[in-house]
Amino acid sequence: MEMTGGEKRSTECSARARHPALRRAGLACAAALLAMGLAGCETSSVDTRFATTIDADQGSEENIASLTNVIRSNPTDPSAYNVRGSAFGRAGRYQDALRDFDKAIELNPRFFEAYANRALIHRNLGDLGRAAEDYNQAIKLNPSYDTAYIGRGELYRRAGRSNEAFNDFQKAIQLDTTDPRAYFRRGLIYQTRGQHDFAIDDFSTAISLQPSAPEPYNGRGLSYVALNQLDNAFDDFNYALRLDENLAESWANQALVYEKQGELAKAKKSYQRALQLDGQYEPARSGLARVGG
């Protein structure tokens, strides 16, 4: 929820599959296993699919069966378990994913990618303590592993520890990450601090790394709104809608510009569309109340 060519697919599921049979199984990595909601930001809600590069078939029963055959042929290959664990995660089979990541780490206790993969599963199961432990271990084993800093930074950000989150995203960026989430999430922190020029720069970098994702356009647009650059904001929100017309956030953001321009009928219509997509989306509910919905 996209990188091409030689760009590094820096995600929590960066399974380093080196065995030829794994490559034939069609799963070099599972990208970001799960939807990655962003909470607690004052100006941008979620990056639900942002920075994922998932083939829809990767979590299929057929692919998992193929990977299981690989493991039967190579029962002591930790990469095989790591890759199948990623496929289980993609399929929502989290306990199976945990067992595979546990096995990968048992076979290779220095398999830092497997720790980061397992951390993501723990995070999505709500076990944030274990997630943090695994990210810490991944960083201990490889202090240059940008993906682990991005994952741990998101844990901090969700917990309201914005300074620590900022430092982790900053570290990933200093490591020359090509993962757009590092810039997007640092931009969100700049935004909450009112540093909108810095936020716009980060959102723009995220867009350059992943131009097909609507989330950084929404983020940048909101900083433009804060700077009263409504034309720029409107362009970003409309482009986000062209990329995906089913995001409540984009419709509510478009409505916000209409509201600020005094076009209340258009604002009402866009807020209503946002609520059709997500009846609990609070910015749309409060916006509709303001324009007389």
Indicate if 24 and 167 belong to the same structural domain.
Answer: yes
Residue 220 lies in a domain: yes
CATH classification of the domain holding 50: 1.25.40.10
| Mean pLDDT, contiguous 10-residue spans, the chain (293 residues) | 33 41 38 29 43 56 91 95 94 96 98 97 95 98 98 96 98 98 98 98 98 97 98 98 98 98 98 98 97 86
Beta-carbon-side half-sphere exposure of residue 233 (alpha carbons within 13 Å): 25
Distance between CA atoms of residues 249 and 85, nearest Å: 32
Is 218 in the same domain as 261? no
CA atoms within 13 A on the CB side of 18: 4
Q: Which residue has the tokens 């599959």?
A: 17
Which letter does DSSP use for residue 42 in this model? S
Nearest to 176 by CA among 219, 147, 136, 211: 147
- Structure token digits, residue 120: 């993501």
Domain annotation covers residue 4: no
Q: Can you read off the two tokens belonging to residue 45? A: 């809600």
Q: Has this prediction a pTM greater than 0.95? A: no
Give the integer Cα–Cα distance in Å for 93 and 101: 12
Q: Helices in the chain by DSSP H: which ranges? A: 20-24, 61-73, 78-90, 94-107, 112-124, 128-141, 146-158, 162-174, 180-192, 196-209, 214-226, 230-243, 248-260, 264-277, 282-290
Whether 216 and 78 map to the same domain: the answer is: yes
Cα 221–Cα 199–Cα 204 angle in degrees, nearest 5: 65
Q: Are residues 258 and 239 in the same domain?
A: no
Residues 136 and 24 in one domain: yes
3-class secondary structure, 31? strand
Number of domains in the chain: 2
User: Is 102 inside any structural domain?
Assistant: yes
Other CB atoms within a 10 A radius of the CB of residue 266 amount to 16
Measured torsion, CA atoms of residues 50, 55, 61, 65, in degrees rounded to the nearest 10: -120
Residues 37, 1: Cα–Cα separation, whole Å: 11
The 3-state DSSP class for residue 13 equals strand
Verify that 238 and 261 share a domain, yes or no: no
- Encoded tokens for 236: 């970003």
- Domain of residue 269 covers 245-293
**Gap between the Cα atoms of 253 and 44, Å rounded:** 10
User: Nearest-CA neighbor of 131 among 108, 111, 154?
Assistant: 154
Same domain, 263 and 186: no
As to burial, measured by CB atoms within 10 angstroms (0-12 exposed, 13-18 middle, 19+ buried), residue 284 is: buried
Does residue 3 belong to any structural domain of this protein? no
Please check whether residues 251 and 237 belong to one and the same domain: no
Residues 257, 238 share a domain: no
Amino acid in position 283: P
Q: Which two tokens stand for residue 233?
A: 């904001």
In the listed set 210, 226, 244, which residue is the last one of a domain according to the structure?
244
Residue 38's pLDDT is 26
For residues 213 and 127, membership in a common domain is answered with yes
**How much is the pLDDT for 192?**
97
Same domain, 215 and 282: no
Q: Are residues 214 and 99 in the same domain?
A: yes
Residue 275 within any structural domain of the chain? yes
Burial status of residue 192 (CB atoms within 10 A of its CB: 0-12, 13-18, 19 or more):
middle
Question: Residue 50's pLDDT is what?
Answer: 52
